[in-house]
Amino acid sequence: MISANLSAVFYLISGVLFILALRGLSSPETSRQGNFFGILGMVIAITVTFLSLGNFSSGFIYVLIFLLIGGLIGAFIAYKIPMTAMPELVAGFHSLVGLAAVFVAISAFLNPEAFNLGYPGDIKLGSLIEMSIGAAVGAITFSGSIIAFLKLQGIMSGSPITFKGQHPLNALILISIVVITYLLCSTQSSNLFWILLAISFLIGFLLIIPIGGADMPVVISMLNSYSGWAAAGIGFTLENTALIITGALVGSSGAILSYIMCKGMNRSFFNVILGGFGATEQSSSSVNKEQKPVKSGNAEDAAFLMKNASSVIIVPGYGMAVAQAQHALREMVDTLKKNDIKVSYAIHPVAGRMPGHMNVLLAEANVPYDEVFELEEINNDFANADVAFVIGANDVTNPVAKTDPQSPIFGMPVLDVEKCKSVLFVKRSLSPGYAGIDNDLFYRENTLMLFADAKKMTEDITKNL
C-alpha cells in the first residue's frame, strides 16, 4: 500500500502524460509517440490505483477478469472496424464513457464509505453535487451517443425528428434536472437520484433526435466534449487529479472541434443544436427548378481532360466513403502521376461524418499526408489548376455560398472549385445535397458531369488513361 500523497503524485504524472499524448498529435511524425505516452499514462493510473488500495484478495481477481473481458472486446473491435465506420465507432465509445461515469456515480452513491465521501444518506454536500453533475452529464452522453450511433449506422433515419413543443419540453426537462439536483442535495433521497438519472437519459435522447445526419460532425464532437465533462465531474467526486486533468482536456478538445465544425458550415452552435436543418428548405427549392442545360460526359472524356492537364486537384466528400472509392481513386492518381501530372487533394473541414474523417480514409488508401491539404491551404491553387475532380462532395463546392445572400448556405466557406479550367463532377444524379439546394456548379460552362457510381467511374477513368 502506498501513501495517498505518493499516489496523488503518480496521478499527476499520468495527467501530464495525457497532455503529451494530445500534444503529439500536432504532427503525424510525433503522433505515434504521443499515443505511447497516453498508454503509459493509463498503465500508471491503473497500477497506482491497485497499489493504493493494497487489496489483492479475491476481489482483485474479479477486477482483472472484468478488465480482461472489456479489453478483449475493445481490442477485437479496434482490429476489425473498417475505417469508413470510424464515426459510428467513436459515437459508440462515447456512450461507453458516459455509461461508465453513470455506473461509478451510482456505485459511489450506494457505497460512499468506499470513496471516503461520508455514509449512505449522509454524503458530503460537495461530493453529492459533483456526483450528481457527473452522473447527469454521463447519462446525457450515453443516450445522446446511442442516438448518434444509430443514426450513423443507418439503423435510425438520418432525417431530423421534430415535433411541436420540442424546445419548451427540452427546456422544461433541463430546468427540472437543476431542481432535482437541488432537492437531491438537500434531502439525500435515493429516489431523487434515480429520477435524476432517468430524466438525464431522456434529455440526451431528446437533444439528439432533431439533429440531421449531416450535422453529425458537430454532434460527435459535442458528445466528445460531454464525455470529458462527465469524467471531470467524477474526478472531483473521487478527488483524483488524473481524472480532473483528463476531463478538462477532453472537454475542451470536444468543444474546439464542435466550434471548428460549426465554422465550417457557417452556422452557430445553437442553430445546430436546435436542429431541423435541411428538412424545410428542400421543398421550396425543388419547386422553382427550371431545366438548365447540363454537360455530361463519360469516363473517356474525363480521362482525356486529365491526361492533357498538368495539375489536378481532387475534392473528396462523404460520397466517396459511401462508395468505398478511396482505393480506386488512389490508383487513378498513381496513373496520373506516372504521366507527370501534379495531383493534390483538397479537404473541406466538414467533409465526411466526423472531423478529419476524409484524411483517415485517404491515409488508409496509402495517400501520403503531405499531398492532402486543408481548405485555407489550397483554395488559392484552384485558379491555377487545370482539372478539379469532385468525388462525393457537393454543398462544399457550391459557389452560391459566395454569391447569393438568400441561400441557406450563404457565408459558408467553400472550395473555389469553379475557378479551375475544367471541373469533373462525379455524382449519381443532379439531386441536391444535404442543404437541399441546387448546386450552381452543375450548370457551369466548364463543368462536366460524370453520372455514375464513384468507384466504378474512377476505375473506368483509370482504364482510359
320-339 residues in contact with another protein (CB under 8 A) are 337
The minimum distance between CB 461 and another protein, in angstroms, equals 22
Cβ 128 to another protein shortest distance, Å:
13
Binding span for another protein by CB under 8 A among 148-156, 192-200, 244-252, 325-333? 244-252
Residues 22-81 that bind another protein (CB under 8 A): 22-23, 25-28, 31-32, 34-35, 38-39, 41-42, 45-46, 49-50, 53, 55, 57-60, 62-63, 66-75, 77-79, 81
Q: Which is nearer to another protein, 251 or 319 (CB)?
A: 251
- By C-beta, is 125 or 175 nearer to another protein? 125
Output 42 or 279, the one with its CB closest to another protein. 42
Residues labelled catalytic: 395
Q: How far is the CB of 97 from another protein (least distance, A)?
A: 5
Q: Does 369 bind another protein (CB under 8 A)?
A: yes
Q: Which of residues 349-368 bind another protein (CB under 8 A)?
A: 349, 354-357, 359-360, 363-364, 366, 368
Q: Judged by CB under 8 A, does residue 238 bind another protein?
A: yes
Residue 251 Cβ, how far from another protein at the closest point, in Å? 7
**Contact range with another protein by CB under 8 A, out of 157-165, 268-276, 320-328, 370-378:** 370-378
Q: How many residues of this chain interact with another protein, rule: CB under 8 A?
A: 117
Q: What is the 3-state secondary structure (H, E, C) of the chain?
A: CCCHHHHHHHHHHHHHHHHHHHHHHHCHHHHHHHHHHHHHHHHHHHHHHHHHHCCCCHHHHHHHHHHHHHHHHHHHHHHHCCHHHHHHHHHHHHHHHHHHHHHHHHHHHHCHHHHCCEECCEECHHHHHHHHHHHHHHHHHHHHHHHHHHHHHCCCCCCCCCCCCHHHHHHHHHHHHHHHHHHHHHHCCHHHHHHHHHHHHHHHHHHHCCCCHHHHHHHHHHHHHHHHHHHHHHHHHHCCHHHHHHHHHHHHHHHHHHHHHHHHCCCCHHHHHHCCCCCCHHHHHHHCCCCCCCCECCHHHHHHHHHCCCEEEEEECHHHHHCCCHHHHHHHHHHHHHCCCEEEEEECCCCCCCCCHHHHHHHHCCCCHHHEEEHHHHHHHHHHCCEEEEECCCHHHCCHHHHCCCCCCCCCCCCCHHHCCEEEEEECCCCCCCCCCCCHHHHCCCEEEEECCHHHHHHHHHHHC
Q: Is residue 114 a contact point for another protein (CB under 8 A)?
A: yes
Closer residue to another protein, CB minimum distance, 55 or 280: 55
| Binding positions for another protein, 292-321, rule CB under 8 A | none
Residues 150 to 209: which contact another protein by CB under 8 A? none
- Is 291 near another protein (CB under 8 A)? no
Nearer to another protein, 59 or 154 (CB): 59
Residue 96 as a binder of another protein (CB under 8 A): the answer is yes
Q: Is 232 in the site for another protein (CB under 8 A)?
A: yes
